[in-house]
Amino acid sequence: MPANPFIQLVFDLFILSAIIITAYTCNFYYLAILSKRPLTRRPGEPGWTPSVTIQLPIYNEKYVARRLVEAVCALDYPRDRMRIMVLDDSDDDTVEVLGRIVAEYKGRGFDIEHVRRGTRSGYKAGALKHAMATTDTELVAIFDADFIPPSWFLRRAIPHIASPEVGLVQCRWGHVNEDYSALTRAQALALDMHFLVEQKAKSDSHLFMNFNGTAGIWRRDCITDSGGWNEGTLVEDLDLSYRAQMGGWKCVFLPDIVVNAELPVQMNAAKRQQFRWAKGSIQCAVKLLSKIATRPGLALEARIQAFIQLTRHVVYPLMLVQFLALPILLVSEVNLYVVSLVPALTIAAYLAMGPGAFMMIMQRMYGRSWRSRAWILPALLIYNAGMSVNNTVAVFDAVFGKKNEFLRTPKYGITSRAEDWRGKAYNLPFTRTTLLEAFFGVYGVIAVFAAIFSANPVFVPIIAIQTAGFFYIASMSVSHTRFKRDKSGAPGPGGMASAAYRLALAGIAGIIIFGGYMAISGYDSDIYPLDRMRGHMDGIIGSSDPATILQHLDAVRDDLGPVLEKIPEGTGPGGEATRNPVWFFPTPSTDFVRIEGDVEGMARDVRAAASLSRDDAAYHTAMIDASARAVLLRENIMDATPYMYVSIANIIFGTVWIAAILGIFAALKRKKAQIEQAGV
């Protein structure tokens, strides 16, 4: 176990994070086993044609609004039993697009209305709540703007909600643009795992299943009985579905009914979507978990699974804790192998628990076609690792109760690889989270070197995957940035704003590159000499030749000189000079002035022993003493190493570095405000 209190704390956090992450991972595998059971519920009477209202919540979706309305109006269902409500809170060209198409289909005899609240209060939940006040049909179907329901959807899905205890049927999401890029493929695989593992495992059971916000049908009585749509979280769908199941309603997942949708093709849009899901889930945990824990009649497993489902995004901050802690533990020579001195078992355990298990799940999900999708798994691992910063910010936002606007995920009507989104409106710029991702990427490069130089190369692939993820998400966030404030997409202010944004990008890129250079050069000048000194101490421990020991001590003195210059001089309790990297509660063991004196004393004793006969007992005593002193000095250097990372100079540099980047963001924000005020 680590002797240094700081290293002990880092080690404890690392192990605790590993245990919690492993628990969540094992639960996913447990659900994968449950998902193998056949779904036994049979649909009701096929001829049953209840009245249904189809609600289409829309906000600024001019590229996909017409496609959605046309698909809904093409549904094969009796017109006199079907009502369509276009819930339009838009404030751009979407209003005119929807106005024209609603009027067109109304003229054809459809019961369709264009609902304009005149406010965006409550966002999507507010629009749905407003619509429910005038909804009197038996069923309510909901589709987001980017979905394309097939014509047979109602005919096939409605019979599954015929049983009076079923309050919701959720259909599987398809992906109309899955093959557009590596980004869309990774998202598609992640969503497929959610639906075909988690949703299937929980469907029509005592476990709570969540509504995914779209491509589902509700029984109207279920919505009203459960308290209706609530505006208190960013995931009104998860909130309502949990309240419904707490009230005794059943939720059913239909894996064979697939509704295609458009995946985000821009990285910043995908990050916004992931942020909303992560934050909303934690908000629901804060709101609902105490009620679930005390609700009578719920099975224990249902309570446990509800806790895991609502809190699972805490895995992301724990991933960052592990990522930050790992190189510190490696350079401190803390043994992290699964079985001591057997590094191969560590990487084998990682592969078995991670990629290996996911491959087996994919084989079960996709059947014979799984091999054609297996190559997507590395992209998903990198994508998930890189998203940990974005989702960690979301988790902390929710925990500390920060209020956020419901920010939609922009869609562009992209259905093929030949189409391009870059010249369209709604493009999102990168945010300050991208800077954190870049920081973690640079830190990961240093961590790779730390793993190599500490003789722990087995950890390099693990660190490299996360590092690649951070750089991938950050680089895509920057390269996908298209700053165009004009909602119509027309040229104008976009040109001036884009110029300012490109200048800001250049400045931020320069600062990040400079920061990376300084981090690597700082490691070379501050940390690597300590690594070399520990290596020389190992040489002394393994030697009984005075000449060899003196060579090692000379090399240690050469490294000590530059290190001493890096550490500010202080004064000990007796007035003596000290140079201690531990600036908060320093101890004599990490004082490099004392270490330098011990090295000089050891050198004098070894030179004296060199004049003795090798058969002399005093000679052997001197060699044993030199080895023991080397062990102690090695521990002292190892204890001091972590504090070199957090030296006062490094903290000042890091603060200035971050302040410079934030200053660029502040200047850019002022420029945007000037452009908007000028109405250019």
- Is 460:448 a contact under the CB 8 Å cutoff? yes
Catalytic residue, candidates 88, 204, 237, 559: 237
- Is 332:641 a contact under the CB 8 Å cutoff? yes
- State yes or no: is 237 an active-site residue: yes
- Angle, helices 388-399/315-331, rounded to nearest 10 degrees: 120
DSSP designation for 214:
S
**Strand locations in 66-165, DSSP E?**
82-88, 112-115, 139-142, 147-148
Find, among 75, 62, 210, the residue nearest to 141 by Cα: 75
Cα separation, 224 vs 131, in Å, equals 12
Report helix, strand or coil for 260: strand
- State yes or no: is 89 an active-site residue: yes
- Is 353:404 a contact under the CB 8 Å cutoff? no
Catalytic residue, candidates 88, 89, 144, 204: 89
Distances (CA, A) of 333 to 3, 14, 96: 11, 14, 66
Q: Could you tell me the two tokens for 34?
A: 């449950």
- Is 264:270 a contact under the CB 8 Å cutoff? yes
Q: Which residues contact 481 (CB under 8 A, 6 or more apart)?
A: 268, 427, 428, 429, 430, 501, 505
Cα separation, 253 vs 192, in Å, equals 13
Cα separation, 652 vs 646, in Å, equals 10
Number of Cβ atoms within 10 Å of the Cβ of 610: 15
- Is 281:195 a contact under the CB 8 Å cutoff? no
Cα separation, 300 vs 207, in Å, equals 10
- Angle, helices 376-386/388-399, rounded to nearest 10 degrees: 40
Contacts 24+ apart (CB under 8 A), 332-335: 332/2, 332/4, 332/7, 332/638, 332/641, 332/642, 333/454, 333/534, 333/638, 334/2, 334/7, 334/11
Number of Cβ atoms within 10 Å of the Cβ of 676: 12
Catalytic residues: 89, 237
